[in-house]
Structure 1
Amino acid sequence: MNNQNHRITLAGTDQFFECANDDVLLRSALRNNIAFPYECNVGACGNCKFELIEGAVDARWPEAPGWTAKDRERRRHLGCQSTPRADCTIRIRPSQHYAPIHRPKRVTGTLTSRRPVTHDIWEFRFELADDMRFEPGQYALLTLPGVSGQRAYSMSNIVQGSHAKVLDFQVRRVPNGRGSNALFHTLATGDEVGIDGPYGMAYLRRDVKRDILCLAGGSGLAPMISIARGVAADPEMRGVRLNFLYGGRSPRDVCGRDMLEALENFGELLHFDAAVSDAGGEQWGGHTGFVHELAESMFGDRLRDMEIYFAGPPAMGQAIQKMLLAHGVSFGQVHFDQFY
């Protein structure tokens, strides 16, 4: 199919943007600095729905969980799954919250190295053909061989210097997971993939100088490590205290401490603690329970005075939100990206 641009007009405004028929409306809008609401970016959450007033679109993933039969009846579509077949007029409610700090771009990345972090989490490094600037805590979409659709993975590194040509992703091997299987078993060093980013709103708020709490579980390690690295590297955040809590199933799942120990002020302003839900008879000197319980026992009502970031499995995220709500934490100071 030859690439062709179509004009997408926002109903009731004088705003429009061009979207190629090999791109989707959501990401094309963000590339054009239009604050199109979204969360997961892969068809699961439904937060990027728009109403199609005129024109025609195709759905990349007709079975996407975030797209219902009622949506189809009402001509509502998912921005992250819709490619234009013609010029379109759509209705959305732009929100400055979603305005990109760095406009996302599509680049080619070459796998240059991989290393184990734990028994089931590995770090994959890609060198990019073009610069991609991003904020600590953001993610990108990878197009992987043999995998339909794209997979969202958070960067664990930060942009250093004037060039941003390296992305590190810490990925957990998921049984029967096509994305992780492609990374762990199909890709070889030197292979190229498509990378689209950056995305996500759970990035480091550099203008906020209150103490920071990072909560991570599983491969949610990556964005939280990126945020810790971002704090340590920013002279304007000198003096900000950061507590990093990691939750794992068993002691062999616990990770991240070595990466934090390499940062300035570890043990002074930067602290690491971990919890495991089941020590399983292994020797374990840390907290036994869940990471949200550890946060509550360590900080209690002091949570209201902290900027809080978290990433991990959905059940962990739900438990953290419930705990923070019980302590009266304002959700304006809580940051996470919604993945499924």
Structure 2
Amino acid sequence: MSAAGQTHRVAIEGGVSFDLPPGEDTLLRAALRAGVGLPHECSVGGCGACRFELVAGELQTLWPQAPGLSERDRKRGKHLACQSRPVGDCTIRVRCDDSYRPVVAPVRQTARLLARRALSPDMSEFTVQVSAGATFRPGQYALLYPLGTVGARAYSMSNLPGADGVWQFIVRRVPGGAGSAALFDTVAVGDALPLDGPYGHAHLRDDNDRDIVCIAGGSGLAPMLSIARGVLAQAAGTRRVRFFHGVRTQADLGSTQVLDGLAGDRLSSTVVLSSPEAQPAWTGRTGFIHEEVERALAPDLARFEFYFAGPPPMVQAVQEVLMLRHRVPFEQIHFDRFF
């Protein structure tokens, strides 16, 4: 909590200032709630996009070993806005950008777990509800605070916003992960679960009529479902969706069943299995998902708008295919990095 329960003033050198009220907000979340375009991506210490320099004042560091900072960054006095909490007025040095201003102001509220549904041996769909409406853009994520754990976990929504206050997430159980273990093993239906959101830049854009390509790996399925649902929900829409879902083994194919609810003449889906050697009965596409996307859509990939989410190696491979090999304009590529 802020020192002595006081509101602190954070000044950006050469720019705007904003208040950080008493409570649990980090510097990043207070900036975003104030509408300040402070650079960020994952919001939980993994990507390093929210690095800044402290010019004056004092900070509390919530996660000193956060992987978003290298040893070189630490020696140079860098900090992560998502892991920093001022203990007094301070001045920071960071280059803000209006593209990072939230399209929907994030709100911290209390949700309750309504249901948990297994999709595969290590992935489940979690449905929670808040008292207010569920306000977000398709493709965004929220921060959950599982009971008994320290810090936030970022999970993308798989449903569409609505007045019913329902938020749905597809979560993968991470070996040794305290957050996912709590959600799978400790949090029970009816339990309260703090929720903060929405966040994220890889949300559905409606400023063009290009057809959409959704590329999902693992639990990256959630935001891609939301994107596809958002496009298909547009009653007068003509944009088509090409959906590519990559899974590892045939045991993971249960998660692909959620695609059945997206059936329609404006959607086509392809499931790609990356480890077919142990599954000789599989007759569908095999290999890496970025290779299948290139095989199916080349040579004119620039005619599409791309959204993708998944493990970092997959995200990196897709970027290389799109930007380096096929020169897809950067403004047609949308993703958030998670680690």
Residue 299 to residue 14, structure 1, CA distance change in 2 (3 Å): closer
The alpha-carbon deviation at position 251 of structure 1 amounts to: 2.4
Aligned to 2:173: 173
Aligned to 1:90: 92
* Secondary structure at 1:13 match in 2: coil
Residue 66 to residue 284, structure 1, CA distance change in 2 (3 Å): same
Runs of 4+ in 1 over 6 A off after TM superposition: none
- Superposed CA deviations along residues 210-236 of structure 1, whole A, max 9, x for unmatched, are 011001011000000000111111235
* Secondary structure at 1:262 match in 2: helix
The alpha-carbon deviation at position 69 of structure 1 amounts to: 4.2
Q: How far, CA to CA, are the matches of 1:10 and 1:308 in structure 2?
A: 34
Aligned to 2:294: 296
Q: How far, CA to CA, are the matches of 1:85 and 1:229 in structure 2?
A: 43
* Secondary structure at 2:298 match in 1: helix
- Superposed CA deviations along residues 75-108 of structure 1, whole A, max 9, x for unmatched, are 3211000001001111211111111010111011
Residue 313 to residue 73, structure 1, CA distance change in 2 (3 Å): closer
* Secondary structure at 2:300 match in 1: helix
- Answer yes or no: is 1:43 the counterpart of 2:45: yes
The alpha-carbon deviation at position 288 of structure 1 amounts to: 1.2
- Kept in 1: contact 2:20–2:27 (CA 8 A): no
* Secondary structure at 1:254 match in 2: helix
Aligned to 2:336: 337
TM-score, normalised to structure 1, is: 0.94
Letter in 1 for 2:268: H
Aligned to 2:34: 32
Residue 127 to residue 267, structure 1, CA distance change in 2 (3 Å): closer
Aligned to 2:272: 275
Q: How far, CA to CA, are the matches of 1:138 and 1:252 in structure 2?
A: 28
Q: How far, CA to CA, are the matches of 1:185 and 1:259 in structure 2?
A: 23
Aligned to 1:137: 139
- Kept in 1: contact 2:18–2:34 (CA 8 A): no
Mapping of residues 1-340 of structure 1, within 5 Å: 3-20=5-22, 22-160=24-162, 163=163, 165-235=165-235, 238-255=237-254, 257-263=256-262, 266-279=263-276, 280-324=278-322, 325-340=324-339
Identity %: 47
Q: How far, CA to CA, are the matches of 1:318 and 1:232 in structure 2?
A: 28
* Number of corresponding residues: 335
The alpha-carbon deviation at position 290 of structure 1 amounts to: 1.1
* Secondary structure at 2:66 match in 1: coil
Q: How far, CA to CA, are the matches of 2:146 and 2:164 in structure 1?
A: 21
- Kept in 1: contact 2:256–2:271 (CA 8 A): no
Gaps of 5+ in 1: none
Q: How far, CA to CA, are the matches of 2:164 and 2:100 in structure 1?
A: 22
- Kept in 1: contact 2:232–2:266 (CA 8 A): no
Q: How far, CA to CA, are the matches of 2:78 and 2:292 in structure 1?
A: 42
Q: What is the CA RMSD across the aligned residues, in angstroms?
A: 1.7
- Kept in 1: contact 2:9–2:17 (CA 8 A): no
The alpha-carbon deviation at position 241 of structure 1 amounts to: 0.8
- Superposed CA deviations along residues 195-252 of structure 1, whole A, max 9, x for unmatched, are 111011111011221011001011000000000111111235x110101011111223
- Kept in 1: contact 2:37–2:97 (CA 8 A): yes
Residue 24 to residue 321, structure 1, CA distance change in 2 (3 Å): same
Letter in 1 for 2:202: A
Gaps of 5+ in 2: none
Q: How far, CA to CA, are the matches of 1:82 and 1:140 in structure 2?
A: 19
- Superposed CA deviations along residues 37-84 of structure 1, whole A, max 9, x for unmatched, are 001111122110111111111000011112344434443211000001
Residue 130 to residue 249, structure 1, CA distance change in 2 (3 Å): same
Q: How far, CA to CA, are the matches of 2:81 and 2:143 in structure 1?
A: 15
- Superposed CA deviations along residues 277-328 of structure 1, whole A, max 9, x for unmatched, are 1222341121111111111111112211100011111111111111112112
Q: How far, CA to CA, are the matches of 1:221 and 1:14 in structure 2?
A: 37
Residue 3 to residue 193, structure 1, CA distance change in 2 (3 Å): farther
Q: How far, CA to CA, are the matches of 1:80 and 1:25 in structure 2?
A: 6
The alpha-carbon deviation at position 129 of structure 1 amounts to: 3.2
Letter in 2 for 1:290: F
Q: How far, CA to CA, are the matches of 1:19 and 1:73 in structure 2?
A: 30
The alpha-carbon deviation at position 150 of structure 1 amounts to: 0.9
Q: How far, CA to CA, are the matches of 1:121 and 1:209 in structure 2?
A: 33
The alpha-carbon deviation at position 26 of structure 1 amounts to: 0.5
The alpha-carbon deviation at position 257 of structure 1 amounts to: 5.0
